[in-house]
Amino acid sequence: MTRAKFVPSSVALACGFLIMAAFPASADDKKDQTPSGVWVLKGGEMKIEFADKKTIKIFPHGANDVIVILCEYGLDKEERVKAKITGFEGKDEAKEAVKNILPVGTQFSFKWNVKDDTAKLDDIKGDQAEHLKAHLEGEYSLKK
């Protein structure tokens, strides 16, 4: 009779392992959600480059390097992109004009949702949010 009890228990244990194997073990197994690549605003000039896992370069005039806004960024718990302006590249007069509107240290966050080769940037919050919304929010295409 002990053998009869052992067989169903071992079968149940084996089934349990198979079921557990079908599901991800933890949130650590989740695909890396860090934004990457170069994205161009559909119907506009704006270009955003996620240069590495900590740096965003924003090109308000697309390929034209009149002004480039440099930001450091990370993801918060809700997977919002949190950014802080760290500097500028480009022509001196353009840098001076942008510094008055978006000074170094300006902090903001936004939602960045990617599906295939399209991304949507929306829900901007933080310093100068209204000004940033007018220029950044919209749908972007991955530049290949």
CA terminus-to-terminus distance, the chain: 68
Which residue's structure tokens are 């005039």?
Answer: 61
8-17 tens-digit pLDDT = 444 333 333 3
Mean pLDDT computed over 112-119: 96
7 — pLDDT class (breaks 50, 70, 90): very low
pLDDT of 85: 97
Is 19 within the bounds of a domain? no
Neighbouring C-alpha atoms within 13 Å toward the C-beta of 53: 3
Q: For the chain, how many structural domains are there in total?
A: 1
32 — pLDDT class (breaks 50, 70, 90): low
Q: Which two tokens stand for residue 78?
A: 């809700």
Residue span of the structural domain in which 77 resides = 31-142
Is 46 within the bounds of a domain? yes
Whole-prediction pTM value?
Answer: 0.76
CB atoms within 10 A of CB 4: 7
Q: Is 73 left (phi over 0), alpha (psi -120 to 50) or beta?
A: beta
pLDDT of 118: 97
Q: Which two tokens stand for residue 66?
A: 């009149």
Is 36 within the bounds of a domain? yes
CA distances to 3, 7, 20, 21, 22 from 10, in Å: 11, 5, 15, 17, 19
Is 109 within the bounds of a domain? yes
